[in-house]
Every structure is written in structure tokens, then in C-alpha cells.
Amino acid sequence: MFDTIVPMTTTYVNDAIFWIEIEKINPNPYQPRREFDQVKLKDLSESIRMYGVLQPLVVTRKEVYHEGAGMTVEYELISGERRLRASKLAGLAQVPALIKHGEEDPQLKLEMAIIENLQREDLNAVDRARSFERLAKEFGLKQAQIADKVGKSREYVSNSMRILALPDEMITALEEGKISEGHTRPLLMLTDRPEEQLVLFKEIMMKKLTVREAESLSRRVATEKIRNKGKYLDPQIIEMEKNFTESLGTRVRIEKNKEGGTVTIDFFSPDDLRGLLEKLNNKAVAAAAPAEIVANNVDDRAPADVEKEDNQDLYSLKDFSL
């Protein structure tokens, strides 16, 4: 049974615009977008309900012959996924579509879908990176070729694809909008130092670091790497730095010299500093708890010992405040 389509008044030499039943349009298997903002989709559906679909979708048309059952026509979407979804929400039975003939090339379908989304700025950073990666892996395109096809610079394509080198949890955070694309730059600077990269990522998430603050931290790590290159690092110092970092929830560095050394603790705001002091106070109190229990019993210490310990308490962290 033949499919019925009603042509619109606008026609083209090789392509034509028709009204096509929504249910007969299959989605584009090369659609680069994975997430669609449901609020914006609903807004678009309301607009379509009032004014109709102002820009036709782009589809391919394929005739399928069935033995003993005649012929049916199938359509596959090339571009216009949001308009198709919004039209379904609006309850439309048919939508206007531009039928492209001879556009069965998978690469071309992917290219057109990417280009449309880029022009509308509808792709998030991860979807864009994955789209470029598909063009490179599935169709063997070089970064310069991809750049030419999508109208961007080679550096833009290269930097986009680098995002996929991040660990999965960081890519997911970017997809969900928990970190920005700008935050990926300092994280990528620490690709060869996964532990430092993870610490920076957690600080970005927990402390809501700006891109500039994250970049400053990342550069500091890179500088230390250059400074310590070829220099013997005490495993005990490295372990203590790790323990300090985990305990305080921020980066801690220990510099050792002949007479002692310094401990550097990172913080990003007065509130952050107060939080660190509170943690140190709590740890000092917890450490003193056994001594307090003993103090509740009979004190059999010598007077000289009592005076010595009281003097030491003058320098306890709990006696200091901001």
C-alpha cells in the first residue's frame, strides 16, 4: 500500500517539502545529542502548537517492498530532532519535511546532524567531543578535515576531543553541568598525575572553585613537578602529604630542609580557612580526650610536671582563633 504525502507549495529541483505523518519518521541513528532539556522542549512544543513548525525537518525517503504485500515508505530523520520531539508533545499528526534524495551516506548524516546542532549551539561539550571522535574513528577523518566540515578551527576540534581523555566521573560531571568546560583545562594538565587530578576535581566540586582558581592550582602542581624532577623524594614525606590531604580535605605540601621544614595548606576563602582551623581544633580535642579522662581521677603528678604541661597548653591550636 502506497504512503500518501501531501506536497507543500514550496518545491526544489532535487528536493521537495512534504507533510509527513510523524509516526512514520524514524530517528537519526547518528544523532550526536544524548540529552534534551525537557523545559525548553516543552516551551518549543507550546510555540509549535500556536504557530506550527516554521522550519521543515530534513529526512531521507526509502521505499520498502514487501513480498505479496505491496510497498511502504519509510523516512529517516537527518536533522530536526528537537522539532520532531516537540511536535509530538504538541500533538501534531504531520510535520513539514524536506526530503533529501540520495543522502544515504552515514558519514553525511552524522555531519549534517553535528553541523545543525553546532549552529544552534545545542550540543554540550561531551556530545560535541564524541561526535568529532565518531567522525575520526568511524570515517577516518583527520582533525583538520573535521574542522573544515563543521566550520571550526583545528584547535577547536582538538581541544574538544581531549575532553574524552578525562576519567568517566569527570566526564559525567561535565555532562550534568556540575563543572564547566573551562574546568577541564586544568584537569587535563594533570593527566599524567591521576592522584593530583582527582584531588583537584574534588576541590572544584566541593569548594565550587572558579576556573581561574583551578588553573592556579594546576599550574602550581606542574611547577612542583618540574622543581622536584630528578630530586630524591622521601617516601615517608609523600605518605604524610597524602594523609594530611585526605584528613583536611585540601592540598598539603611538606618541604623538608636541614633544620626542619614547612607545611603548606591550601585554602581559598576566609570561610575555608576557618573550616580548616575547626578541623585542627577538633583533632586536637580528640587527641586530648584520654588525658581529660585521667584528669577526672586523682592527680598524682608531681607539681613540676603539672607546671610544665600547663605551659605547653599555652601553645595549643585550640587557644588560637582568626
| Residue 124 near residue 175 (C-beta atoms within 8 A) | yes
3-state helix, strand and coil shares in percent for the chain, rounded to the nearest 5? 55, 15, 30
Q: Taking the mean position of all CA atoms in its chain, how far away is CA 167?
A: 10
What is d(CA 145, CA 140) in angstroms, rounded to the nearest whole number?
Answer: 10
Mean pLDDT value of segment 98-110? 70
Give the mean pLDDT of 216-223: 76
pLDDT of 320 above 50:
no
pLDDT tens for 126-157 read 988 988 888 888 888 899 988 888 888 899 99
Same fold, 6-122 and 166-265: no
User: Residue 162: pLDDT band by 50, 70, 90 thresholds?
Assistant: very high
Average pLDDT over residues 287-299: 52
The sign one gets for the Cα dihedral 138, 143, 145, 146 is positive
**Structure-block grid coordinates of residue 125:** 561539550
DSSP secondary structure code for residue 179 in this structure: S
Give yes or no for residue 177 having a pLDDT over 80. Answer: yes
Residue 81 falls in the annotated catalytic set = yes
How do 94-100 and 57-66 pair as beta strands? parallel
Look up residue 302 and give its DSSP letter: -
Three cell numbers, residue 28 = 537519526
Higher pLDDT, 233 or 77: 77
Q: If pLDDT is split at 50, 70 and 90, which confidence band does 230 have?
A: very low
Three-state DSSP class for residue 21: strand
Domain edges within the chain: 6-122, 124-165, 166-265, 282-319
Which pLDDT belongs to residue 315?
38
One-letter amino acid of 102: G
Q: Are 316 and 292 in contact, with CB atoms under 8 Å apart?
A: no
* 298 against 224, higher pLDDT: 224
Which residue bears the cell 530523520?
A: 77
Cα–Cα distance, 108 to 126 (Å, whole number): 21
Active-site residue (options: 35, 81, 103, 309): 81
Q: Which fold has domain 166-265?
A: Arc Repressor Mutant, subunit A (1.10.10)
CATH match for 6-122 among 3.50.50.60, 3.40.640.10, 1.10.3720.10, 3.90.1530.30 = 3.90.1530.30
Q: What is the pLDDT of residues 193-206, one digit of tens each?
A: 888 898 889 989 98
| Distance from the first to the final alpha carbon of the chain | 83
Take residue 6 and report the three cell numbers written for it.
501531501
Q: Could you tell me how far CA 218 lies from the centroid of its own chain? A: 17
The model's pTM: 0.53
Check whether 6 has a pLDDT greater than 70: no
